[in-house]
Structure 1
């Protein structure tokens, strides 16, 4: 059901952009705006700006921009309507909607349908735990034995799947969910050849996995009886809404605590997270048994730059996990490590010693990665010089990944002291690694360029395999390639045996056309930012910038599609007796218009108030010179169109041989030249011949 405009406005007014985005990233005030590292691409210096006054965000790195609704759409991958419903739920805004019918469920966007089905499954499993006889006698006692309170069970929405082959599937089908959606959500397994379908999770306690906003996206399930034919833990498969490398268990429950404590505790299992949370240590997430990924590290980086990894006492597991530490360092985060006594893990240890002693243990036993590696491997190396040398190289390799030069210097000093070696040698080794890395990047780039050049020469419809080990064999008409030919390249890595001709570069746009686009952009920028303001109150009171500009460029059609569309919206609103103000464009439902509007409104830099308050230096703003800016822009815009007209006339003159047509074109050309002189005179530029 479509939401009415009044409800949409209520949602947008309640969903303040800084509040909404603050649930996903840690914002810091700088000037009039708030800043953070962008959640949409990896970066180490904040370029993601949030303007509470304008209700928008803008990343000056990747270009992502929008309002609070657009942010939810982008970060959660939701449609417009679903994003509004998400915000309505967050801010307790009631939406009157009829229950979804079977047809409506099937018509839902595929992604939204998965969320709906997964949420239904979560409620079903939780209801089993608390209401069903089997859940109360088997699943619920397991959680109580682990020491989980009802409040904790409900906070993590834990549940139980019945020991019946198709109990959930039958229930979901009865309530209108399609088997296709259930299968795509990873809830039901279907075997068409046997005409069978059954639940993925049976006779297991259920751990729902949530995304950052709290939506259920997958499940982890633990079996409660010994069965050699069954895995102890069973997880949802990858789906359109669940990619295990992108998510951390407990991130929804932990995000606010991580931000406020400014540190994230990273553990391995579900129960570790839940036990620590119940003990009041809420800033904890788990990698869910998978190796730490770059996406997971960047997810943590939205909320803090500090990670403390909590290991159990298993040396083999610790060594296997150290690769992830290098990835954390490379992302510019600060990482510390803690090992618990042999046989203990975070879950058992916090229940054994209590939350206060647990936090104190972390404080007393946390080590930076250099000290940790040294203590872990020095005993193994002993007095063996070769093993010590390998350890030093490994430590230098880790330090070299740190992007901050000061931090690198500090760790080189510490390593030199620990390993009793000259610091200069460590820096030299680091420089060698950096040079090798640069050479490898150049080699990879050369390989990619060679591949692209080769692909451009292949017949249409034939795609070069990405594999460099097993090159394709194919026959296309008269052209035949085989692995032996290797297309004249050595594994696409080194110099080609025969150099293919470099394709001619695409011609750059004509200067006149490019200038026209810039002036069109500036015209729309002025209209969006200042269209409702009086252009010159002293000379023409009551005349808005919108009225003035639209009158001056009446009849002009912009060449750039997006700016022509935005100009049409301005004209349409003006004919209706209103002015399309800044907010109209910033909240426009068409994503391209909204995004471009934010690009034209967002300010990367602002003048400090200290210029006037402390130094008594007045810096004029756009409002102080609005009339001059508008007048100059209109002149330049008309000059660009006139230049385009002149260029067109010259081409026509060169092509025609009809004397009468030549005379007509010459008259038009002379008129256009006269216009050019007049505009140049007004602009104070050199009058062309």
Structure 2
């Protein structure tokens, strides 16, 4: 079934662009708009703009644009229905199903939405299993041994997979799920050599539900409780259309608010580390789930904070092997600190051992910036070995060189100089060599790409001119921009609206750009139906091409501060100050381009007529047409104040 129109309307009435986007990226006010670094592409300077007044967003870097519903569709990779469900959940709106949908329409639902529903069912199944006799004696007792409270178990959707080959499969099929969806969701497996034999992926294990950033189950981690050496300790969901391991951090859904509030993210290794830290009152924590840190995971952290504290188990060999992660964090523009636990301890074991208060005190007392941390790791090694010290210096310099901010690089170079007891000039010299090599590698890569592009261009046409079609497209766009932005406003000292004037003047004009022709048609249709064709009206049509174009037409990257202009006694003339003049000149410019296009076509016909030696009467006809059009252009030029040589 689909969502009823009443539910959709309630969501649209309640949703707020700043609240929706603010769940994913920190926003800063600048002028009348809110700004952020775009969550859809990597950038250091914010180009992602929100207009609270118009309830739209637009990225001037990658071009993404839309309303709150489109934002959820883009950021979560879901369809319209799932986006409405997400927003309904956010605002506590009860979802009513549309009873008029046919079984065929239900079957045609987006595959991703079906996967989310199947994974949600599996989550509920595993959670419910904890209350079975088997679940209480095995799964629940394990969680209680680790001190997990009922509220924590509920918070993280912890569960249990029953011992048996097809418990989940049978339950899912009874609930109406098809085997192909269960396979695509990674919940079941096909027997090797016999694809007709299907069985549960997770069996006789405690379950850790993996959520996406909005709280939907997208995968599972399953821990074995027996000491069977033939079985892996953990089994995790495979890659699926909704679960990409490189873009997910365990616990981010539960942690994102605390990370933003504390302006720091604790990074640990495993599921139990995250849950145990929540028990200790520390909620700004996520886990890489035992995998190597990825660029996607770093970008996910950066949505909420620039500060990361990496928590390491008390195993120096393991720490040194995982230092690559710190370099990746630095390269991603994050400020990095580290904490090492005593030998044999990890965040989970140590928090249970010392208790919440002592655990928090330990983190505060032992947090060190990455330079002090990295040098401290190798201090014993290089104390009596000058060659090893030289190697450590180069390793530290390589890490500093990953930092994109030159001021922060300089600060860390000074600190490294003091800790390593070596002249700062030597550190800077090595640092410059490292940065120079990185830049050289980057430019060599760019050069190869350019050379490859040039090789392609050699076989393509090289002469590119701005055609009359393109010039006309720009002018058509300008006319539609004025219409969409100011069409409902009345002209000064007149009773008609600007839209009435513009539409009457373009009634006999044929637009050559399809999207602008459609926009005009939709505008006229709305007026005939008695509707006001506002920005919200066009966005509500559900046409993504129209939606994106309208947002482009009503958003500006830069705006002049009215307060700044008043302070400096600067008079700023705006196109909205005199809409009569703005509308009149917009129509004149559009007609001028159309006349010029017709003149070019007349010239071409005249040339072809002369080449083909057509009768003089036809040639004279083309000449007369051209000069008549020229007269119209000159008249328009005079009206526009264009000087004619």
Q: Give the TM-score category using the shorter length.
A: over 0.9
Preserved contact between residue 533 and residue 545 of structure 1 (Cα < 8 Å):
yes
Taking a change above 3 Å as real, the CA distance of residues 289 and 105 of structure 1, as seen in their structure-2 partners, is farther
Q: Distance in 2 between matches of 1:362 and 1:628?
A: 66
Match of 2:383 in 1: 382
Stretch of structure 1 that moved more, 281-290 or 416-425: 416-425
Instruction: Give 1:613 deviation, angstroms.
Output: 5.5
Q: Distance in 1 between matches of 2:459 and 2:447?
A: 16
Q: Distance in 1 between matches of 2:124 and 2:579?
A: 58
Instruction: Give 1:528 deviation, angstroms.
Output: 1.6
Preserved contact between residue 336 and residue 368 of structure 1 (Cα < 8 Å):
yes
- Aligned with residue 537 of structure 1, among 492, 500, 506: 492
Match of 1:418 in 2: 419
Match of 1:85 in 2: 85
Taking a change above 3 Å as real, the CA distance of residues 586 and 109 of structure 1, as seen in their structure-2 partners, is closer
Q: Deviation string for 1:4-58 (max 9, x for gaps)?
A: 4443222112111111111111112222222211111111222211111110111
Taking a change above 3 Å as real, the CA distance of residues 105 and 4 of structure 1, as seen in their structure-2 partners, is closer
Taking a change above 3 Å as real, the CA distance of residues 591 and 103 of structure 1, as seen in their structure-2 partners, is closer
Taking a change above 3 Å as real, the CA distance of residues 224 and 561 of structure 1, as seen in their structure-2 partners, is same
- Aligned with residue 635 of structure 1, among 588, 594, 602: 588
Preserved contact between residue 516 and residue 637 of structure 1 (Cα < 8 Å):
yes
Preserved contact between residue 102 and residue 177 of structure 1 (Cα < 8 Å):
no
Match of 1:687 in 2: 644
Instruction: Give 1:444 deviation, angstroms.
Output: 2.4
Preserved contact between residue 269 and residue 288 of structure 1 (Cα < 8 Å):
yes
Preserved contact between residue 399 and residue 412 of structure 1 (Cα < 8 Å):
yes
- Aligned with residue 519 of structure 1, among 475, 486, 506: 475
Match of 1:181 in 2: 181
TM-score, normalised relative to structure 2: 0.95
Q: Distance in 1 between matches of 2:282 and 2:249?
A: 16
Match of 1:548 in 2: 501
Instruction: Give 1:527 deviation, angstroms.
Output: 1.5
Match of 1:604 in 2: 557
Match of 2:21 in 1: 21
Stretch of structure 1 that moved more, 270-279 or 596-605: 596-605
Preserved contact between residue 4 and residue 98 of structure 2 (Cα < 8 Å):
no
Indicate yes or no: 2:222 matched with 1:221. yes
SS in 2 for 1:219: strand
Preserved contact between residue 492 and residue 580 of structure 2 (Cα < 8 Å):
no
Q: Distance in 2 between matches of 1:395 and 1:321?
A: 15
**Pairs within 5 Å for 1:348-387:** 348-387=349-388
Preserved contact between residue 266 and residue 308 of structure 1 (Cα < 8 Å):
yes
Indicate yes or no: 2:178 matched with 1:166. no
Indicate yes or no: 2:31 matched with 1:31. yes
| Structure 2 unaligned spans of 5+ | none
SS in 2 for 1:38: coil
Stretch of structure 1 that moved more, 604-613 or 109-118: 604-613
Stretch of structure 1 that moved more, 414-423 or 267-276: 414-423
Instruction: Give 1:368 deviation, angstroms.
Output: 1.1
Q: Deviation string for 1:475-514 (max 9, x for gaps)?
A: xxxxxxxxxxxxxxxxxxxxxxxxxx92244542434222
Match of 1:491 in 2: none
Q: Distance in 1 between matches of 2:454 and 2:643?
A: 45
How many aligned positions are there?
639
Q: Cα RMSD over matched residues?
A: 2.0
Instruction: Give 1:114 deviation, angstroms.
Output: 0.8
Taking a change above 3 Å as real, the CA distance of residues 628 and 330 of structure 1, as seen in their structure-2 partners, is farther
SS in 1 for 2:142: helix
Taking a change above 3 Å as real, the CA distance of residues 272 and 192 of structure 1, as seen in their structure-2 partners, is closer
Q: Distance in 1 between matches of 2:453 and 2:193?
A: 43
Indicate yes or no: 2:11 matched with 1:11. yes
Q: Deviation string for 1:42-101 (max 9, x for gaps)?
A: 112222111111101111111111110000100111111221122122222223227999
Match of 1:337 in 2: 338
Q: Distance in 2 between matches of 1:383 and 1:648?
A: 86
